[in-house]
Amino acid sequence: MSAHAPAGAGLPVRVEGLVHIYRLFDTEVVALRGVDLTIAAGETVTLFGPSGSGKSTLLAALSGLVRPSAGTVRIGDAEIGRMSERELLRLRRGRVATLLQGAGRNLLPYASPAQNVAFAQRGTGRRHRAEAADELLAGLDLDHLADEPLAALSGGELQRVAIAAAVAGGPGLLLADEPTSQLDAAGRDAVIATLQRVNERFGTTVVAVTHDREVGARLGRQVVMRAGRVGEEGRGDERFVVVGADGALHLPHSERDAWPAGTLVEVRRDGDDLRLVRRQP
Amino acid sequence: MLALLWRAVRWRRATSLAVLAASVVATAAGTLGPLYARSAEESLLRQRVAQAPAVQVGLTVEAQLGGPGRLTGDMSSDPTTGQVGPPVVADAARAVAADHRLDRWFGPPSAFVELDSTSLVLDGGSVAGLAQPVWLERACEGLQMDSGTCSPGPGQVLVSRRTAQTFRLAVGSQVRLSLAARPLRVAGVYADVAAAEAVWGARSPIQWTEPRQPDDVLKVDAVLVARDDIDDRTLGGAAGAYRPLRRDTILLSTTGPVVADVAAVDRDLRAVGGRPAGAVRGVAAEDLPPMTLTNQITDLLAEVAPQRRDLRGAALAITLQLVALAWFVLFLVVATTTEERSAEVALAKLRGLSLRRTAVLALAEACVLLLAAAPVGLALSYLVVSRLVEGVLQPGTSVTLDRTVWLALAAAVVGGLVAAALATARLLTAPVLDQLRRTAGGRAARLRGVAVDAVALVLAAEGVYLLRTGVSGAVALATPALLALAGGLVAVRVLPFVARLAVASTRGRPGAALFLAARNLARRPAGSRVSVLLAVAVALAVFGVQEWRIAQEARFDLARTQVPAAQVVHVAALPPWALAEVVGTVDPEGTWAMAAVSVDGTLAVDSPRFAAVSAWDPAWVGTTPAGLARVLRPPVDAAPVTARDTLTVTVDDALPARSSKTSLGARLIAPDGTDRVVTFGALARGTRDYTVRLPSCADGCRLLRLTLDVDPFGDVQPSGTVTVTRMSDAGGPVDAGLSAPGGWRLARTASLTLDPSRVRPQDVATSAAGLVLTVTDGTGPAAEPADHPADPPAVLGDRASYSPYDSGSDAPTVRVAGLDSTQLVVTATGRRGPLPVVGRAGALVDLRNAVDSAAERRWSEADAQVWLSPAAPPDAVRRLGAAGLSVRGVDSLAERQAVLDGDGTSLALVLYLVAAVAALLAGGGALLASTYLGGRRRAYELAAARLLGARRSSLVAAGRVEQLVLVLLGVLVGGVTGAAATWLVLDALPAVTGGSEAVRAYGVRWPLLLAVTGAAALVAAAFSELGARRVVAAADTGLLRQVQA
């Protein structure tokens, strides 16, 4: 599927062996150590992980804001690492939308919600837009706020307007960084509902970074990152560890104390399954 | 889009206001120079035209009149036939002058006839003197009448008040002139008035001239006659027509047309041999004498052209600096506000807006504000220039929005757009993540900064080099900004190194203020741009104020050299000491008037009165006013020798028998200052008394000289001695010092002045027997009493170059122009400098000494002056006229000052002064904007510091120290570079101090420098204090709730 999928169609994401290293003062920091992740078109995924696990860096890589040091990132058929700045700009223009942490950072503070949506649509051709600004706001139950000053909106309303602005161009992929941070329960619920509506209405693939388990539970698939890699996944109440491209397997965090680093483990085949047996010291 | 833009502008009110203000400053700065330059050029032109003498700017068409045969060349021809009458010639000239092409520039023509002077004979047959018969078409408009009519009819004349008073004439009196066979009746008496330009042009009926030499004849004021009576074809003279210039029509826009029209009329006149197109009063054109058209407006305009060019060049240089500073201010303000806009621009990039749309978003506000500011800036500069026109320029000067102004406005706007674009460039090029994370520019940005610094340093160095090697003008005036820019950039590069040294020393001190300040200064503070801007602003201010002040002083000094008293009254020439005597009767105390005579580079002044009257400063020649009087008129021991009514000398003639007549003569000076030459007659051998009557010496005449003349045509040229043993007058013996050692000496005659080898001092000697005069080979000496210096002292101009004179003494003597037609030997006093009136190449002597030492005593056509001090009574000039002086004109020091204040360099420096003020305001505004608008960036880190426990007072103190260091560094650099630029430019731009006529050396005015720099420092420090407090107040820990990306 092309990165220029028509509006309303979600874009698949395929990340293989993604490595990103950046320089901080005199030190090189390996933020991503070979991330493998496949997201189907129209899927909703939440990214979990402790601070420094690489969630935000992965989000930045998916939006083309950082270049991979190694590995590939594909949005549809487009490989991010091979795209020029101009192509990346075009990618972000209505194909890949990013929702920054903090609603205010996604909006022009002096413009109304309707003006913000119109501003966000400015760079997008009409045929790529999801809907007209007023229709979009109405579709997300935000039409009553169209002309209100932003300062008059609650935290949840502000974040929903930010989502509307982010998806104003009809993106196939929405990357949201902590969309429910600093919100109360009602606000959080409203934001989650809006994300779901975006996904349902436009088929947009949604990837959200969050610390909120409720978001993960309601958005479906949960991916846990650790130390720059995908460590676990959750679907509903089930938890899985993910085998990496190199065959590495990360123990669930809850089991790491039982088998600390350096523990020798024997892998035994048991039919289609593998059994892990700890070697007794 | 526009609605969004308007919301954005209102949202960021403070920022928008700052950008708008900076934009107004930029556009005002860009248009101020061109607006002012045009008005200043106009003022310069107006001033020159207003002050130009009528003869220079009026238009005259004139033909010479012939006496007998003058036109035909046949001296034997009948003087009454073949000649055209003067009135007809005048009418013909009038017809030419009345060409309609000249109507726009010149007033109505008035015809005139001026015949050669002829004897004015009084009713009793005595000759009053010479008088010029004159007919003027519109005499009544130019004359102020004392009595009678202003329009004489046939057989009638008008005489002046002075003529009437001197010769007891009144209305009805009869006089004769050679041009009329019958007597002429006085029909009116006109007062002594200055020439009315509209009627007389350069001509004046006031022509009274006293005889200067014994055989001179008095010339009285002109006699106005009727047109019918002026038809004398025996006398020469001139007939013509005059049109006064309508001075207010000469503007910058009309200089071309007026020159073209005058040239066209002149060309047409020359094409027909200088004759009118057709017959005049029945006389064919070819019978009329050829006429010439005279007008010097073209020369006048050519004189003004270089100053106009210099003014334009100076205005350009000043404008470029000011507008560059304004652009820098705009850049700084916009750059300071980009932090606020960074997130929006990052958002636009995140939304995938194209570079073009993102640039529009980034720049739209600044562009709209700049465009909105353009008319406001233009209006502001128009207002400023209008005020300057009222206060500084010639009345009536207009302020015009011409093409240059509009181009300048456009350039200022474009430059402002470029400055705003440069300030926001980083927003467009920085990576989105960096913008979101507010990280600084990388290595590329730092290298760009170094490159900019290097370019500025190179430009500054080149500017200084060009100045020192003699290139001046615009480069000179651009120096201050370049030097300050270079100095500021170097200073802010050095500051972090110095601050790092302070970090270590402040680390262990109690209180964190100094440590925090040092740390912030060490890490290349963001406020360094403000330091550079302040340096440039203060440098421009210091330079502008200094140059203006120095130029003002220089102009005042120059004015006092050119017009060395509050008023200098030019009068008709008199015998020099007679002038002094007249002045003495008007001001007996010597407190407000002084006689002075200037001829051929020599200025003779009545020294005892100099200190009280003169505005010229003797300190320029290294002495005081009282000292100068002592220098020029040193005391002499011998008293003057005076005699009343008669003079008797006892002479012992010991010359051998001869056929050559040897006669003794005497020259005396009467109380009225005129000379009396008497002769005792031929001497006979042996001892005898010789007596001569002294005319007009009832009150005593001073003996100047005894001369012994031997008839050069005699057969034998004797050698021997003649001794004057005794002298007496009507009152008895006269103590003439005949026996006193050194009481008499050889007088310097013209021949001895020319050829010092012929000087034989021994030819005159005093002895116990009396005054011994030695005749050698038929040449008798002239002897003078030693009651005045032999070779009077003189102060020479510091560029004077006079030929030395071997006087036989050790004193340095040179020859200067004397007050008579010969040279005067003077003793150079060693004091040199710029002299009043005669300048740097002249000589200053005492009037009495110069008169006493004059060799020939045939007084030259000199510029006779009476200097008046500010204490002179308001009617001083009238009193001088009443005392018998014929006033030709009055120069005033204040008017001279005004003229110099109106020249090109002076007007350019006024603009620099205005630019200096504007620069200070711009710098202060930029500092304020930077402090207030840039505070948010600092607020985050200060909030973090407070969260970590730093006290508010410590943060305020740290901010205060940091800001003070930055602003005071900028002010200090600006003060130093401004002073350096002043010093450099004074050398390179001599026009500031008067060029080659500069009176003295001028240097930096340190008190003024300290005052400007100090004031700037105080204001900057106050702004910094306000800013520091405000930033700390805004550093609320709540700011830290914003989670960084």
Q: How confident is the model at residue B868 (pLDDT cuts 50, 70, 90)?
A: very high
pLDDT confidence bin for B1044, thresholds 50/70/90: very low
Closest CB to B432: pick one of A56, A65, A91.
A65
Long-range (24+ apart) CB contacts under 8 A made by A70-73 are A70/A17, A70/A18, A70/A19, A70/A34, A71/A15, A71/A16, A71/A17, A71/A18, A71/A19, A71/A32, A71/A34, A71/A35, A72/A14, A72/A15, A72/A16, A72/A17, A72/A18, A73/A13, A73/A14, A73/A15, A73/A18
Q: To the nearest whole angstrom, how far is the Cα of A33 from the nearest Cα of chain B?
A: 20
pLDDT at residue number A129: 59
**B 413-472: CB under 8 A from A:** 431-433, 436
- Tell me the pLDDT band of B679, cut-offs 50, 70 and 90: very high
Contact between residue B870 and residue B566 where contact means Cβ atoms under 8 Å apart: yes
**Hey, which of B69-83, B290-304, B454-468, B498-512 has the most confident mean pLDDT?**
B290-304
CATH of B642-785, one of 2.115.10, 1.20.1630, 1.10.10, 2.60.60: 2.60.60
CB atoms within 10 A of CB B229: 21
ipTM of the modeled complex: 0.87
What would the pLDDT profile of B365-384 be if each residue is shown by its tens digit?
989 999 999 999 999 999 99
Q: Across all residues in chain B, what is the average pLDDT?
A: 86
pLDDT at A176: 94
Beta carbons within 8 Å of B1010's beta carbon, 6+ residues apart: none
**Which residue among A106, A110, A120 places its CB closest to the CB of B7?**
A110
More confident residue, B935 or B188: B188
Check pLDDT > 80 for residue B885. yes
Check CB contact of A128 with chain B, cutoff 8 Å: no
Tell me the residue type at B317.
A
Angle between helices B13-51 and B403-429 in degrees, nearest 10:
150
Does residue B295 come out as left (phi exceeding 0), alpha (psi in the -120 to 50 range) or beta? beta
> What is the number of alpha carbons within 13 Å of residue B40 lying toward its C-beta?
30
Residue range B813-825: average pLDDT? 89
Nearest residue to A255 via CA among A268, A240, A238: A240
B435 versus B282: the higher-pLDDT residue is B282
d(CA A140, CA A168) in angstroms, rounded, equals 11
If you measure CA to CA, which chain B residue comes closest to A99?
B350
- When mean pLDDT is compared across A17-26, B176-185, B520-529, the lowest value belongs to B520-529
Please determine, for residue B423, whether its predicted confidence score (pLDDT) is greater than 80.
yes
Q: How many CB pairs under 8 A join A and B?
A: 73
Task: State the smallest CA–CA distance between residue B368 and chain A in angstroms.
Answer: 17
- CB within 8 Å: A101 and B1045: yes
- Considering only alpha carbons, which residue of chain A is nearest residue B13? A110
What is residue B557's three-state secondary structure? helix
Which of B352, B1042, B1045 comes nearest A92 by C-beta? B352
Class for domain A13-248, per CATH?
Answer: alpha beta
The minimal CB distance from A123 to the residues B4, B10, B352 is found for: B352
B354 in contact with A, Cβ within 8 Å:
yes
Sheet architecture: strand order including A13-24: A27-39, A13-24, A70-75, A78-79
**Contact between A108 and B8 using a beta-carbon 8 Å cutoff:** yes
Query: Residues in chain A with pLDDT < 70?
Result: 1-8, 123-131
Write the residue in B11, B349, B1042 that is nearest to A109 by C-beta: B11
Nearest to B151 by CA among B94, B226, B206: B226
Chain A: closest CA distance from residue B345 (Å): 10
Please state the pTM of the whole predicted model.
Answer: 0.80
Provide the pLDDT for residue A4: 41
Residue A154 near chain B (CB below 8 Å): no
Pick B353's closest partner by Cβ from A65, A100, A123. A123
Q: What is the pLDDT of residue A125?
A: 64
Please say if the pLDDT value at position B159 is more than 70. Answer: yes
Q: Are B959 and B934 in contact (CB under 8 A)?
A: no
Cα angle vertex B207, ends B202, B212, to 5°?
130
C-alpha B665/C-alpha B675 separation (Å) is: 13
CA–CA gap between residue B527 and residue B306 (Å, rounded): 44
What's the rounded Cα separation, in Å, for the pair B730 and B734? 9
Chain A touched by B619 (CB under 8 Å): no
User: How far A248 CA sits from the closest chain B CA (Å)?
Assistant: 30
Q: What is the pLDDT of residue B81?
A: 40
Query: What are the boundaries of each domain within chain B?
Result: 117-231, 478-563+894-1045, 573-636+791-885, 642-785
Tell me if A100 and B436 make a contact (CB, 8 A cut-off): yes
User: pLDDT band at B516, cuts 50/70/90?
Assistant: confident
Q: Which two tokens stand for residue B325?
A: 């500073």
Please give the Cα distance from A33 to A225 (Å, whole number): 11
Nearest-neighbour CA in chain A from B41: distance (Å): 50
Chain B residues within an 8 Å CB radius of A107: 347
The model's confidence at residue B62, banded by pLDDT at 50, 70 and 90, is very high
Residues in chain B closer than 8 A to A111 (CB atoms): 4, 7
Q: How many CB atoms lie within 10 A of CB B62?
A: 22
- Measure CB to CB from residue A115 to each of B4, B12, B343 and give the nearest one: B4
Chain A residue with the nearest C-alpha to that of B358: A123
For chain A, what is the largest distance between any 2 Cα atoms, rounded to a whole number of angstroms? 69
Break chain A into its structural domains and give their ranges.
13-248
| List of E strands, B820-862 | 823-833, 843-846
Q: Does A98 contact B350 at a Cβ distance shorter than 8 Å? A: yes
Residue A171 sits at the chain B interface (C-beta within 8 Å): no
Give yes or no for B344 touching A (CB within 8 A). Answer: yes
**Residue B6 in contact with partner chain A when CB distance is under 8 A:** no
* Closest alpha carbon to B496 in B446, B568, B435: B446
Of A94, A109, A110, which has the smallest distance from its Cβ to B352's Cβ?
A94
| Count of CA atoms in the C-beta half-sphere (13 A) of B176 | 11
- CA B448 to chain A, closest CA, distance in angstroms equals 21
B72 pLDDT tier (thresholds 50, 70, 90): very low
Residue B939's pLDDT is 73
Which residues of B are less than 8 Å from A119 in CB distance?
Answer: 4, 351
pLDDT band per the 50, 70, 90 thresholds, residue B148: very high
pLDDT of residue A205: 95
Query: Any idea which residue has 């029909």 for tokens?
Result: B187
CA–CA gap between residue B1012 and residue B1016 (Å, rounded): 6
Q: What is the mean pLDDT of residues B885-900?
A: 89
